[in-house]
Amino acid sequence: MPKPLRTALLLAPSAILMGVFLIGLVRLVSSSLMIDGQFDITHYVDILNRPDYVQMLGRTLRTAALTTLFSLLIGFPTAYYVARYKGNRNFLLLLIIFPWLVSIVVRSYGWMVILGPRGLINSFITWTGLVERPLRLMYNDFGVILGLVHVLCPFMIIAILSVLMQIPRSLEEASMSLGGRPAYSFRTVLLPLSLPGILTGITLVYLMATGAIVTPLLLGGLRNTMLGTEIFQEVMHFFNYPKAAALATVLLVTALVVVIPIQIFERWLARRLREGESH
């Protein structure tokens, strides 16, 4: 068998799967732009004309941005601690990877048990007598963002950790021994070198937060919808597929507008770091 034919046969299964996906993507966008076979942007005009939709878009962006920010703020120190840990690092990895691989529906449900009116926190504070009635810890933005950060921050930790493990400790020590203060050596050595991992983490967490359904629905309820939960309701309760397709396209655009520039920057950065190595 000639080699090009063998290559084609090897590629066929994965190419078919990706082809199905990419054709679906094109059909999604085109179905949102068609009404009765005619080009029509009515669905988009409707979305932008409804104040509740505009508000929901704002809530989605705000929630995703806050989730990404908090994941970074707690993810970086955690990754740093694990990367520099001298004892049994495998156990620490287990504490990150095991929860990461447990279904998000189970983890979100776990937060319902913790935050709910008869949950861990409320049982404790009503028992101590600090408050008389249980606090409302979920079905609000607090619950949603807490849940999303918990569900998504392993992506951030793993992305940053994989970069930090490659930065030799000696590099930091060198900068310190040359008289750099910790903050200075963080800014000039650690941060630039770990930037590729940070960018990967930001990309993944932002993407998953904008398109999340399960966590916002379980911890936020049906009232304060986000793009993902709104799409879910259009499909499951109203069977309005063209509207869902238009919302999904809006979701794609809001995600890619942020993600593609980050990806381009990351590639540029990777090239610069590689050039730096060869000097």
Partner 1 sequence: MITRLIALSVLLILPLPIVIVVLSSFTSAGYLSFPIHGVSLRWYGEFLGSADWLRVLGVSAVLALIGAFVSTAASFGAAWAVVRHRMRFGATYETILLTPLIFPHAAIGVIMIVTLSSLGWLGTFTGLVLVHCILTIPYAYRPIVAALRKSDPALEEAAASLGARPWRTFWTVSLPAARPGLVTSFLFSFIISFDEVTVTLFVVGPHVMTLPVQVFSEVLESASPVIAAVSATLVLFTTAIVFVLDRFIGLQFFVERD
265: tokens are 């920057």
Smallest distance, partner 1 to C-beta of residue 101, A: 5
Q: Is residue 142 within 8 Å of 103, Cβ to Cβ?
A: no
Q: Is 248 in the site for partner 1 (CB under 8 A)?
A: yes
If we measure between CA atoms, which residue out of 204, 211, 209 comes closest to residue 263?
204
List 162, 180, 192, 224, residue binding partner 1 (CB under 8 A):
162
Which region, judged by CB under 8 A, interacts with partner 1, from 33-41, 168-176, 187-195, 235-243? 235-243
If we measure between CA atoms, which residue out of 248, 243, 261, 230 comes closest to residue 59?
230
Residues paired with residue 34 on neighbouring β-strands, in sequence order: 39
Smallest distance, partner 1 to C-beta of residue 235, A: 6
- Compute CA 153 distance to the chain's CA centroid, rounded to the nearest angstrom: 8
Q: For residues 224 and 112, what is the distance between their CA atoms, to the nearest angstrom?
A: 17
Provide the mask over 90-119, with x wherever binding to partner 1 is found by CB under 8 A and - wherever it is not: x-xxxxxxxx-xxxxxxxxxxxxxx-x-xx
Element holding 75 (H helix, E strand) = helix 51-84
Which region, judged by CB under 8 A, interacts with partner 1, from 34-42, 49-57, 128-136, 156-164? 156-164
Exposure letters 266-279 (e unless 16+ CB within 10 A, then b): beeeeeeeeeeeee
Smallest distance, partner 1 to C-beta of residue 105, A: 5
By CB under 8 A, what part of segment 54-93 binds partner 1? 74-75, 77-78, 80-82, 90, 92-93
Nearer to partner 1, 102 or 191 (CB): 102
By CB under 8 A, what part of segment 3-42 binds partner 1? 3, 6-7, 9-15, 17-18, 20-25, 27-28, 31
Phi, psi of 119 (to 5 degrees): -85, -175
Smallest distance, partner 1 to C-beta of residue 49, A: 21
List 56, 144, 152, 158, residue binding partner 1 (CB under 8 A):
158
Angle (deg, nearest 10), helices 241-278 and 227-236: 150
> How many residues make contact with partner 1 (CB under 8 A)?
95
By CB under 8 A, what part of segment 164-183 binds partner 1? 165-166
If we measure between CA atoms, which residue out of 85, 55, 80, 106 comes closest to residue 186?
80
